Each structure stands twice: as structure tokens, then as C-alpha cells.
Amino acid sequence: MDLLDNLALGFSVALSLQNVFYCFVGALLGTLIGVLPGLGPVATIAMLLPLTFGLPPVSALIMLAGIYYGAQYGGSTTAILINLPGESSSVVTAIDGHQMARKGRAGAALATAALGSFFAGSVATLLLALFAPPLANLALQFGPPEYFSLMVLGLIASVTLASGSVVKAIAMIVLGLILGLSGQDIYTGTPRFTFDMQELSDGFDFVALAMGMFGISEIIRNLEDEHQRSLVAAKVKSLMLTKEEFKRIIAPVLRGTVIGSFLGILPGGGAMLSSFASYSIEKKISKYPREFGRGAIEGVAGPESANNAGAQTSFIPMLTLGIPSNPVMALMIGALIIQGITPGPNVVTEKPDLFWGVIASMWVGNFMLVLLNLPLIGMWVRLLTVPYHVMFPAIIAFCCIGVYSVNNNTFDVYTMALFGLLGYALVKLDCEPAPLLLGFVIGPMLEEYLRRAMLISRGDPTVFVTRPISAVLLLLALAALVVVLLPSVQKGREEAFKE
């Protein structure tokens, strides 16, 4: 009965006129940036963070969540129609989705992506409602040593699941941790790493760093390589699936939902890893393996379901433990902190309207996305003809205005520009910037729990291994690091990411 009461509270919050409007705005913006290649949800949410300051916390989080899962829907449209994924998790969808479009089945591919996404998103939201509260209750038993060990595990897991070199991923996390330490000491108030600059007394601004690393650097990268886009199916014909196609997508959608729901919870996992895993499994167990790469409908149904399920369940560790499982969740935590809310297990009990309102809004948002994506497909197709060099000056101007409006400080604009150049340089050096953002967000919390644990234990470091939960979490972190450093695992990992 508690679950039904809580969901009733959630729907009463989510279905208020104001929150329905912000849910719609989030879903619409998410679809838009998913459709436009080069602008992912991380860049967009980073750019829109300043707009959330004037909103109530529930409305702000509902809108940002809508952008995230809306981008998963929208990304499949460009992947299918022009073989250019609008979002990283749609890379796999392009393999078979575009081949279907070339055969005149673009409508069926788009319908498969939308229906699979809707089903997976709805099921994953139900799992979020079922498992998040018990996990939050368990987390209330955690003390500073357990939280420290959990955050170490989260950082190590994000290294193991990041693409590219393990050493580079670790370096990115360390760089993020160092940047997070800039500012005043949390207990003594002594300035550190400020280089005698008054503007750095509170550390680097989160919004400026996020907008620079993911917004500005993405724009520079896309301007460098402006794609020549050619629409395969400017006029999408029937969106109806044949009876045979409908039968073939049922099992992949179910499998994709299960895979995505599980992998979305893991730090560093989320939508992208889920879609790759689903495609690999479908290819191995399919009755039609030769069709893969040539327009197999399972190659659209499985990954699209997985990436949407992964996007929804990645909210579980963020809402219950205050730990981001991917860069978007790190931005969500930043949005909550900006609103004066400490992410973690207390959110469930202290802010039930926020917790259950966001969960209920996901069902509302998923329903809106089906209505937005299929009937308005013609509008999204026309948008693909807008050239980058027209869009990006407006986006940069929006970034500058947004980051300045946070603190009314020109230093933040310079900081954003600096991190934009740094982000671009890191991408050129094959260093993934996502672990840096996770390190930057988790760093100050990691330090606080480490120092609290040491104060409680009177400087005895064995407190981390003598408490059972803390010891188990540290052992898991060590095991994950050892496994990923094994030569055979490293080789397989590199091959998987190449594929």
C-alpha cells in the first residue's frame, strides 16, 4: 500500500499544470537535441543549468530528466534516416536502422525504436519505483567509512567502463579530483589551489566547468568536422509494422529492457553501454544472424529498448545514494546542490514530493515522447537540413549568457572558455572527459567522508577495513581494478569498444 500511496503523491505532483509543462519542455528539448547530431544531453543540460535556478526543485529536475530520456528517443531518428547518430547511445541503432531506411522501411524502423523505447522506459521506471526506496533505507545505515568506500567503488567502476585506455581514464579522474579540491578547506577555511585569485576562493564553478568541457568543446569539434548530411527518406512512409516484424521485435525488446535496467545502475554504464551489450547479444542468438548489418529489425529493437531502460535506471544510484552513474547524473546532482538539496538517501524521506514526483513524471514523459516522435517525424526531418555554422554562434552566445547569469561574474565566462579548450584538447588526445566530471563532483564529497571517518576513528585508517560493508565495497573496487588491468581483459575490452 505504501508504494501505491507514494505513486499517488508522485502523480499528484507530476500532473500539476506547471510540472506537465516543464515535462513537455524537457521531452521536446531532449528530442530536438537528440535529433541534431553533435549536441548530446550532457552539453544541453550543462547549458540549461542556469535556467533551473529560478524554478522549483521538482520542476527543474523533471525538465532535466525529460531532456535526458528525450535525447535517447530523438537520437534514433538521425541514426535511422541519415546514418548519423544524434546521441552516442544511438550509434548501434544506425547500423541496421539506416539499412532498413535504404530499403524503404524507415517508418517501420522509427516505429520499432519508439515502441521499444516506450516499453523499456515504462518498465525501468517501475523498477525505479520498486527498488529505489529499499536501497535508500539501506543507505541510511551507512556511516562516513561506508560512503567513502562506496564512492571509491563508483570511481573505479567508471574507469573500467570508460572507453579507451584505463590509464587515461584514471588520469582523468585524478585531474577531476584535483580540480574539485580548489577553493577553501572544508574544516579550516584555509584557501588552497587558488593561486591567490579571489575568484577561486569558492573553487571552480560547476556550471562553467560542465558547459566548457561538454558544450564549448563539442561545438569546436563539430565545426572542425561539419558532416555532409543526405536524407535517405525525406518522406517517411507508413509507420506500421507487419505481423512478422512485430513478432520478431517482442523478444529483443524484452531482453534489451532487462540488459538496460541492470547496466544503467552501474557507474559508468548507462544508455551507451546498454545498447552495445544488447546488440552483441541479439547478433549472437538471432535466427537471422546474416541480416545484421543489412537491416535486421532486432538490431533496432534491442539496442533502443536497452538504451532507454539504462537511461531511466541510472537515476537509482543518483536519487538514493547521491552517486552519479554517468556525466548526466553528475549534472543532475549539481542541479540539486544548486537548489540547496543534498543528494542521498534522505531525499526519499525529507523530500518525498521531489522523489516520487520525478519518478511519476517519467511515465508522463515517456507517453509524451511517443506522441512527439511519431506524428511529428516530418518536422524533425526538416530540422536536419539546418547547417551547423548557423546554429553554433547562437549556442555559444546562449552558453556565455547562461554561465554569466549564475554569479554575474565575467571570470566564469573565461573559466568556461578555458575548460572548452581543455575539453577539446583531451578529446584530441583520446582522453574521455566524462570521468573528469565524475571526479570533480565526487571529489569534495570523497574528501569530506574521508576526513569525517578519520575524525571518528581518531586517525585510525583501519576503520575502512574493520567495518564489514566498507571492507566489502573496497574489495569490490580492488577486484574491478585488477580484472580490468589483466592483459586478456584489456584486449577484449579494446576490441569491444572498437566494435
Q: Which domain holds residue 114?
A: 2-498
Residue 453's pLDDT is what? Answer: 92
> Which residue in this structure is represented by grid cell 564549448?
216
Average of pLDDT values for 214-224?
78
- Indicate if the pLDDT at residue 177 is higher than 70: yes
For the chain, percent of residues with pLDDT exceeding 90: 15
Least confident piece of the model among 91-105, 227-241, 299-313, 362-376: 227-241
Residue 414's pLDDT is what? Answer: 93
Average of pLDDT values for 309-317?
85
User: Residue 187: what are its φ and ψ, rounded to 5°?
Assistant: -105, -40
- The number of beta carbons lying within 10 Å of the beta carbon of residue 495 is 9
Three-state secondary structure along the chain?
Answer: CHHHHHHHHHHHHHCCHHHHHHHHHHHHHHHHHHHCCCCCHHHHHHHHHHHHHHCCHHHHHHHHHHHHHHHHHHHHHHHHHHCCCCCHHHHHHHHHHHHHHHCCCHHHHHHHHHHHHHHHHHHHHHHHHHHHHHHHHHHCCCCHHHHHHHHHHHHHHHHHCCCCCHHHHHHHHHHHHHHHCCEECCCCCCEECCCCCHHHCCCCCHHHHHHHHHHHHHHHHHHHCCCCCCCCCCCCCCCCCCHHHHHHHHHHHHHHHHHHHHHCCCCCCHHHHHHHHHHHHHHHHCCCHHHCCCCCCHHHHHHHHHHHHHHHHCHHHHHHHCCCCCHHHHHHHHHHHHCCCCCCCHHHHHCHHHHHHHHHHHHHHHHHHHHHHCCCHHHHHHHCCCCHHHHHHHHHHHHHHHHHHHHCCHHHHHHHHHHHHHHHHHHHCCCCCHHHHHHHHHHHHHHHHHHHHHHHCCCCCCHHHHCHHHHHHHHHHHHHHHHHHCHHHHHHHHHHHHC
pLDDT 10s digits, 141-173? 888 898 899 888 878 877 766 666 788 888 998
423, HSE (Cβ side, Cα atoms, 13 Å): 26
Residue 270's pLDDT is what? Answer: 59
Residues 121 and 230: beta-carbon distance below 8 Å: no
Name every residue whose Cβ is closer than 8 Å to that of residue 261 and which is 6 or more positions away in sequence: 120, 123, 124, 127, 309, 310, 312, 313
Structural domains of the chain, count:
1
User: Residue 165: what are its φ and ψ, rounded to 5°?
Assistant: -65, 135
Q: Cα separation of 165 and 448, whole Å?
A: 29
Residue 417's pLDDT is what? Answer: 92
Residue 269's pLDDT is what? Answer: 57
- Indicate if the pLDDT at residue 317 is higher than 50: yes
Q: How far is CA 252 from CA 130, 247, 277, in A?
A: 24, 10, 12
- Indicate if the pLDDT at residue 218 is higher than 80: no
- Indicate if the pLDDT at residue 251 is higher than 70: yes
Q: b or e along 375-412 (b: 16 or more beta carbons within 10 Å of the residue's beta carbon)?
A: eebeebbeebeeebeeebeebbebbbebbbebeeeeeb
Average of pLDDT values for 209-232?
71
- The number of beta carbons lying within 10 Å of the beta carbon of residue 429 is 9
